[in-house]
Each structure stands twice: as structure tokens, then as C-alpha cells.
Amino acid sequence: MKREFVIAVALLALCGCARSDPTNYYLLESGAEPVTTDKMPKTTLRIAQVEIPSYLNRNNIVSRVKGETMLIVAEFHLWAEPVGAGTRRVVEETLLKPMLEAGINVLPAGTASGGDYTLLLDIARLDGNFNEKAVLDCRWTLLNREERPIESGVYRAEEMVNGADYNALVATESELIRDMGRHLADALPGLINKNRQ
């Protein structure tokens, strides 16, 4: 009995000494400068909930092995918010200033109003790996108030990940989403103004 007690105490002591890796949380970043305006334009654009593929629909950051179909699902490196919500936020923040300058108000997420125009984003791919390319593949559609498509397109881009950690991977994925936001900021005002005439 005494021997069993000593073994149990030793096992408990070993368990107390064992340490697991800390869990790290990451956010996509827009890097957009703060915007101030005294008057919001009447024409509005709403960014709908972003559709993402099921392999990204998880808290864990997903990376891809170069040249293979194999995915790596990180155990201790997690998104601080859903990927779709983060993508929507970064696109919204990136679009805000140039759209305001074009006379169009980008509505914040959760706004009750439907908006005059709605931007749909359907991500097909957002992944990469350390010291390799990160890839963003997204279909976009602009709808009018009656939810009829005005225009649609595909945005696909890739960029090298300059680093061998999750900070570098997330920073590169953030840049890809910002670049898509800038691309849309160039395209959308003309499409909206053409539709208003």
C-alpha cells in the first residue's frame, strides 16, 4: 500500500512538471489609417458575410505543404476570430476611405440596413506556408438593392511568405486581403456610378 502511494505521488509530481506549448491567437490586419468624416454619403455599400471553404472553417490556422494536397492544421496557433469575419473586417477597413472619397458609405458589419449595394465575397482558397507562397482565390459579386447582380469577377493573387512562423504567414495573408480590397476600391465606384445613371 505504501509503495502504491509513493508511485501515485510521483506520478502527480511528474504531471505537475509537464508543460504544454502555449496557445497563440492571430488576427488578420488591414493596416488602414483612421478615417474621419463629418458627413456620410447617402449611397451605401454593405459587405455580406464572407463565404469560406469548410477546410478554413475552424479556429486553427491551416497551412499547405508546397506542391502537395496535404494540409497542416496548427494545434497551438489559432485565429482570434473566424476567418470569414476577419476577411470581411479587413476588406471593410480597406474600402472605407477610397469609397468615402467616391461618395459611397461602407456600412459596418451588423448594420440593420440592407444598403443600396451589397458586395458578396466567396473565398475558394486562403492558405500558404512558411517561406513559400500564400494564395488568395476569391469570387466577388456586386448586387443592387433588388439583389440583382451588377457585376462579378475573380480575384486571385499569391505572395511569398517571408518568414518561418505563423506571424509571417498571417501577415502575408493579411496583405493579400488588403490587396483585394484595394483592387475592389478601384473597380466598385465606377460600377456603382454607372448603375446609378
The three three-digit cell numbers of residue 130, written as one number? 512558411
Q: What is the pLDDT of residues 38-65, one digit of tens each?
A: 677 889 999 999 999 999 999 999 998 8
Residues 54 and 76: their CA atoms lie apart, in Å, by: 20
pLDDT score of 2: 57
As to burial, measured by CB atoms within 10 angstroms (0-12 exposed, 13-18 middle, 19+ buried), residue 137 is middle
Binned at pLDDT 50, 70 and 90, residue 5 comes out as very low
CB-side neighbour CA atoms (13 Å) of 24: 10
- Kindly report the number of other CB atoms within 10 A of residue 117's CB atom: 23
Q: What is the pLDDT of residues 105-118, one digit of tens each?
A: 999 887 766 789 99
Q: Indicate the pTM of the whole model.
A: 0.85
User: For the chain, what are the domain ranges?
Assistant: 23-196
The three three-digit cell numbers of residue 49, written as one number? 458575410
CA torsion through residues 54, 57, 58, 64, sign: positive
> Does 23-196 carry CATH code 3.40.50.10610?
yes
Question: Picking from 6-20, 57-71, 154-168, 169-183, which range would have the lowest pLDDT averaged per residue?
Answer: 6-20
Q: What is the pLDDT of residues 117-171, one digit of tens each?
A: 999 999 999 999 999 999 999 999 999 999 999 999 999 999 999 999 999 999 9
